[in-house]
């Protein structure tokens, strides 16, 4: 903030317009990149095939072809669901809205943020849980036994794994002393390990247990294998998404991968230092002394860290079998939650001791 800040020079409407456009980019760009790099190419590579190759060089235009295909399909409401057509049509929008609400608190640079929300991470966890509502009513309004089963399984799973996620975050919040995501980023990059500030103090070092629990919970929240019981295509034919076609299916699809991107961004902010580089490299001390070019480099750094984390999510997704329903519930309630409670206690003791 030492030189020109873009937000002080623009009128309020221009800022708001920029923020809306930025939000669209921040949701759609990661989703598209994740689908192309990981879902198309990495999965094909792991299965010894080429993946899409026809549309554009190395199939890079395949995404646009897919979106075009979905948009021209008919928007079908099944006959049995006609009585609840409005709710049936609303459900995917709730899921996507929850993703857009999530990205609002993600800081991309010293001045590149949408809102500097004081209760940032708490807000993110709260609106992240709104998507369950959309999934539940999607399953119910489809008027289909398999969809309802899928919706119920999804709700049970998402409730169970939200708890370890919240509890894992508490460790980071205790250590950083704030719930504001921007300040969590600064606390990590301005920090030092026993006086050595070469890499700052990313919380993945001190909160490694919390990081593991958080990533497992993210995997479950996104209903990716091995936690894909709710959409198990071999037994529930995609669960709550079964009856959706055309652009409503596309919205569910975008929602899934955009949420993966946003959760990976939040994980990299909490544990890997977010948009920042260790401040000591350039002699910065706090957020006010960070150079302006970080507003351009920051989003790229965050994007890179996000891709690394999504790589792990997708790696596990493509290479593991499915948990049984009782196994995944027991795993959340009897293993993850006790470990995260112990982690909170240990973190609190160390916070007071040092």
Partner 1 sequence: MIASDVLVAQNVGFAIIAALMIFGALRVVTTNNVVHAALWLVVVLAGAAAQYILLAAEFVAVTQVMVYIGAVMVLFLFGTMLTRARIGAEKDLNNKNWYIGLPVAGLLLVTILIALKDGFGDEKMPADADLFTVAQVSDLIFGPYLLPFWALSFLLLAAVIGAIVLARRD
Helix 246-271 and helix 181-189, axial crossing angle in degrees, nearest 10: 40
Stretch that binds partner 1, among 158-166, 199-207, 247-255, 322-330 (CB under 8 A): 158-166
CB neighbourhood size of 115 (10 A): 12
Cα 169 vs. chain centroid, distance in angstroms? 14
> d(Cα 324, Cα 310) in Å, to the nearest integer?
24
| Strand, helix or coil for residue 200 | strand
Structure tokens at 144: 């289909």
* Residue 348 touching partner 1 (CB under 8 A): no
When asked if residue 292 is in the footprint of partner 1 (CB under 8 A), the reply is no
Indicate whether 129 belongs to the interface with partner 1 (CB under 8 A). Answer: yes
46-54, 151-159, 268-276, 308-316 -> range binding partner 1 (CB under 8 A): 151-159
- DSSP state, 335? I
According to DSSP, the residues that pair with 193 across neighbouring strands are 196
Shortest Cβ 69–partner 1 spacing (Å)? 30
Q: CB atoms < 10 A from the CB of 193, how many? A: 13
Torsion-angle region of 320 (φ positive above 0: left; ψ -120 to 50: alpha; else: beta): beta
Residue 75 in tokens: 């928007």
Provide the mask over 68-87, with x wherever binding to partner 1 is found by CB under 8 A and - wherever it is not. ------------xx-xx--x
Residue 82's Cβ-count burial label (10 Å; 0-12, 13-18, 19+) is exposed
Q: Does residue 174 bind partner 1 (CB under 8 A)?
A: no
Distance in Å, CB of 242 to partner 1, minimum: 16
Q: Which is nearer to partner 1, 129 or 329 (CB)?
A: 129
Residue 181 CB, nearest approach to partner 1 (Å): 13
Evaluate the CA torsion angle 319, 322, 102, 290 in order and state its sign: negative
By CB under 8 A, residue 155 contacts partner 1: yes
**How much is the CA Rg of the chain, to the nearest whole Å?**
21
Report whether the peptide linkage leading into residue 220 is cis, meaning its omega lies within 30 degrees of zero. no
Whether the Cβ atoms of residue 174 and residue 340 lie closer than 8 Å to each other: no
Size of site (CB under 8 A) for partner 1: 33
CB-CB neighbours of 221 under 10 Å: 22
Q: Which of residues 26, 136, 217, 251 is near partner 1 by CB under 8 A?
A: 136
Told to check if 161 binds partner 1 by CB under 8 A, we report no
- Indicate whether 159 belongs to the interface with partner 1 (CB under 8 A): yes
Nearer to partner 1, 118 or 235 (CB): 118
Nearer to partner 1 by C-beta: 209 or 348?
348
* CB closer to partner 1 out of 40 and 123: 123
Q: Is 148 in the site for partner 1 (CB under 8 A)?
A: yes
- Report, in Å, the least distance between residue 159 CB and partner 1: 6
Which listed residue (123, 257, 271, 323) binds partner 1 by CB under 8 A?
Answer: 123
Does 133 help bind partner 1 (rule: CB under 8 A)?
A: yes
Length of the chain equals 354
E strand or H helix at 308: helix 294-319
Q: Which of 60, 119, 192, 245 binds partner 1 (CB under 8 A)?
A: 119
Stretch that binds partner 1, among 136-144, 233-241, 259-267, 308-316 (CB under 8 A): 136-144
Copy the structure tokens of residue 195. 């006086």
Binding site for partner 1 (CB under 8 A): 80-81, 83-84, 87, 117-119, 122-123, 125-127, 129-130, 132-133, 136-137, 139-141, 143, 148, 151-152, 155-156, 158-159, 162, 178-179
């Amino acid at each position: 903030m030492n030189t020109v800040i873009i937000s002080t020079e623009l009128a309020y409407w221009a800022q708001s317009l920029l923020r809306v456009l930025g939000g669209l980019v921040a949701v759609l760009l990661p989703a598209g990149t994740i689908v192309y790099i990981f879902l198309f190419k990495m999965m094909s590579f792991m299965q010894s095939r080429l993946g899409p190759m026809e549309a554009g060089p190395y199939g890079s235009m395949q995404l646009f072809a897919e979106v075009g295909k979905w948009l021209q399909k008919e928007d079908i409401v099944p006959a049995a669901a006609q009585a609840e057509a409005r709710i049936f049509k609303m459900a995917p929008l709730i899921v996507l809205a929850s993703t857009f609400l999530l990205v609002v608190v993600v800081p991309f640079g010293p001045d590149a943020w949408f809102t500097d929300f004081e209760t940032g991470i708490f807000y993110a966890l709260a609106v992240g849980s709104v998507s369950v509502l959309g999934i539940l009513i999607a399953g119910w309004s489809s008027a289909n036994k398999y969809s309802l089963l899928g919706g119920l399984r999804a709700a049970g799973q998402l409730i169970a794994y939200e708890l370890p996620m919240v509890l894992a975050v508490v460790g980071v919040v205790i250590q950083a002393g704030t719930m504001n995501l921007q300040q969590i980023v600064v606390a990590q990059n301005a920090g030092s390990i026993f006086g050595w500030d070469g890499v700052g103090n990313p919380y993945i070092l001190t909160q490694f247990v919390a990081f593991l629990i958080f990533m497992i919970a993210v995997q479950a929240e996104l209903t990716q294998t091995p936690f894909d019981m709710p959409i198990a295509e071999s037994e529930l034919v995609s669960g709550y998404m079964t009856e959706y076609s055309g652009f409503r299916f596309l919205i569910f699809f975008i929602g899934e991968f955009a949420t993966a991107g946003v959760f990976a961004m939040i994980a990299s902010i909490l544990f890997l230092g977010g948009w920042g580089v260790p401040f000591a490299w350039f002699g910065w001390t706090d957020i006010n002394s960070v150079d302006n070019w970080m507003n351009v480099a920051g989003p790229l750094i965050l994007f890179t860290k996000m891709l690394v984390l999504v790589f792990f999510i997708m790696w596990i997704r493509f290479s593991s079998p499915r948990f049984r329903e009782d196994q995944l519930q027991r795993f959340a309630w009897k293993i993850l939650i006790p470990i995260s409670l112990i982690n909170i206690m240990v973190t609190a003791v160390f916070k007071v001791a040092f």
